[in-house]
């Protein structure tokens, strides 16, 4: 029997959209070189006009960050910096509903996810790093580690507020000031965060937000006044940034793409594993760098797992992201939808077999149904390239050694999942999988105290935990780890 759900839309009234937004430089909103529009990917409605920062605007932002660094932030005792971070964390919590609704409107992700995952985790990152601000001398990097200076941060559109928190919280806790560029298609929660900085009385210039496209990001990472660059996004742009930063003396951390294997052994509880597979690839429409986009299932349980998976995919509700019952929201942009379509077409052309969950796609906006491919060979593009959409490639294995070999057969190395009842097998697999994070009997779990980052083409450096602090401290002279 199938239930029909009554619509349960979250109200938009909690959000006050301005017609246009300036750049946040030196503690106030200012104009820039030109403007662009940000739209809702679910409806294609224009939400607001946003300022495009040109090189001269980036210059102003870096100058404001430098001044705040030298005069205020780097000389402020850690316990005082910590108070600001606690204040920001509490304000994020107080304005959680507003942030969640705005995130969903600008990004297209289901409100259930922005409300229950993105915003609470963003607050948790500020709380966690607030706690570190006066304890850096005990973090294992020497008695009084120094900040690096002004940090340029460029973030993607898949978790706009959460990626901001991952970048801004540790940078500020360690005594750095920041200039952050959000993605072109999702600037609005970063601009609301700028208001939160004002509300928290954060000294002007400690956080600066410059909106724009790739050219703004390029001006920022190339700016000579930046001491460190932190980037999350595609491997291709990450490589360009690595080239731009080479021999500049800038410190660099890159969190790039992934093609994670989710490995299901024959003793795993099937229903639990299926929930993990669904969460691994359909959470956030698969716009997740660590998404479990390659399912490796032990051959003996392939048919059972696939039958249960198809059944479960058939119950996923795709549609209005503001509806609290929605599981799968909109694809973030037309460009991303085209990219998903192109890779899916390549899968079909190369001989893999496609199955999409039966669901009606809305007439307006950008949508793609939850999809899986079987008969996938390791050489297929859908098995090698990051699709960054709700598309799963299914392959099989017979022995643990074969599972490891197939899981590691990728240029990426960000995450992996293992499903089995045997603890010894989990440990055996975890020590052989070349991935920064290995989840056991779960997937896509995040915690600010747990370091996250990649191997190989997934980038370098860690975010979160004590390890993440290292990326924002000048420990070139030593440290005891």
Q: Which residues does the annotation mark as catalytic?
A: 255, 289
* Residue with the shortest CB distance to ligand NDP: 217
For the CA atoms of 270, 276, 279, 281, the dihedral, rounded to the nearest 10 degrees, stands at -90
Cβ 68 to ligand NDP shortest distance, Å: 23
**SS3 of residue 295 by DSSP:** strand
Q: Are 92 and 114 in contact (CB under 8 A)?
A: no
Q: Are 191 and 24 in contact (CB under 8 A)?
A: yes
Phi, psi for 37 (deg, rounded to 5) = -110, 145
Q: Are 35 and 20 in contact (CB under 8 A)?
A: yes
Which residues of the shown chain bind ligand NDP in the complex (CB under 6 A)? 154-158, 181, 183-184, 213-214, 217-218, 221, 232-234, 237, 240-241, 256-257, 289, 336, 339, 386, 388
- Burial of 211-225, coded b for 16+ CB within 10 Å and e otherwise, reads bbeeebbbbbbbbee
Cβ 277 to ligand NDP shortest distance, Å: 20
Rounded to an integer, what distance in angstroms lies between the CA atom of residue 294 and that of residue 370? 14
Pick the closer one to ligand NDP by CB: 111 or 180. 180
Bridge partners of 339? none
Rounded to an integer, what distance in angstroms lies between the CA atom of residue 61 and that of residue 241? 19
Pick the closer one to ligand NDP by CB: 169 or 331. 331
Cβ 358 to ligand NDP shortest distance, Å: 26
Cβ 363 to ligand NDP shortest distance, Å: 24
Pick the closer one to ligand NDP by CB: 203 or 238. 238
Pick the closer one to ligand NDP by CB: 104 or 158. 158
Q: Which two tokens stand for residue 413?
A: 């190395």
Walk across the sheet containing 391-397 and list its strands. 353-356, 371-374, 391-397, 294-298, 261-264, 415-419, 437-440
Cβ 461 to ligand NDP shortest distance, Å: 14
Pick the closer one to ligand NDP by CB: 222 or 316. 222
């Amino acid at each position: 029997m199938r239930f029909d759900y009554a619509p349960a839309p979250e109200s938009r009234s909690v959000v006050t959209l301005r017609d246009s937004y300036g750049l946040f430089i030196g503690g106030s909103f200012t104009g820039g070189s030109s403007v662009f529009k940000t739209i809702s990917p679910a409806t294609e409605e224009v939400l607001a006009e946003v300022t495009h920062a040109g090189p001269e605007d980036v210059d102003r932002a870096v100058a404001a960050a430098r001044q705040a660094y030298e005069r205020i932030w780097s000389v402020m005792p850690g316990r005082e910096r910590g108070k600001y971070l606690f204040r920001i964390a509490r304000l994020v919590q107080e304005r959680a509903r507003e942030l969640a609704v705005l995130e969903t409107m600008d990004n297209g992700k289901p409100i259930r996810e922005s409300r229950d995952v993105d915003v609470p985790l963003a607050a948790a990152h500020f709380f966690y790093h607030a706690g570190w601000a006066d304890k850096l001398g005990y973090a294992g990097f020497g008695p009084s580690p120094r900040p690096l200076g002004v940090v340029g941060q460029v973030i993607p559109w898949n978790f706009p507020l959460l990626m901001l928190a991952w970048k801004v919280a540790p940078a500020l806790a360690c005594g750095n000031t920041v200039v952050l560029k959000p993605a072109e298609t999702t600037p609005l929660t970063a601009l609301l965060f700028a208001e939160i900085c004002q509300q928290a009385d954060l000294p002007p210039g400690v956080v600066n937000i410059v909106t724009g496209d790739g050219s703004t990001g390029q001006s920022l990472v190339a700016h000579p006044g930046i001491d460190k660059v932190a980037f999350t996004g595609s491997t291709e742009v990450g490589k360009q940034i690595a080239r731009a930063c080479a021999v500049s003396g800038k410190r660099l951390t890159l969190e790039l793409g992934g093609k994670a294997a989710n490995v299901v052994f024959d003793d795993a509880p099937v229903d639990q594993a299926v929930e993990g597979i669904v969460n691994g690839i359909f959470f956030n429409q698969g716009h997740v760098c660590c998404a479990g986009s390659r399912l490796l299932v032990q051959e003996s349980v392939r048919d059972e797992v696939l039958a249960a998976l198809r059944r479960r995919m058939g119950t996923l509700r795709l549609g209005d992201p503001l509806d609290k019952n929605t599981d799968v929201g909109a694809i973030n942009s037309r460009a991303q939808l085209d990219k998903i379509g192109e890779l899916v077409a390549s899968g079909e052309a190369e001989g893999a077999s496609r199955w999409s969950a039966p669901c009606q796609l809305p007439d307006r906006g950008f949508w793609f149904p939850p999809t899986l491919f079987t008969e996938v060979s390791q050489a297929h593009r859908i098995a090698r390239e990051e699709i960054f959409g709700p598309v799963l490639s299914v392959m099989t294995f017979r022995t643990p050694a074969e599972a490891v070999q197939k899981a590691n057969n990728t240029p990426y190395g960000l995450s992996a999942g293992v499903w089995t009842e045997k603890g010894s097998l989990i440990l055996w697999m975890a020590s052989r999988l070349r991935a920064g994070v290995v989840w056991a009997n779960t997937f896509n779990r995040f915690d600010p105290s747990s370091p996250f980052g990649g191997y190989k083409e997934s980038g370098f450096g860690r975010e979160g935990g004590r390890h993440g602090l290292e990326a924002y401290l000048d420990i070139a002279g030593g440290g005891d780890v």
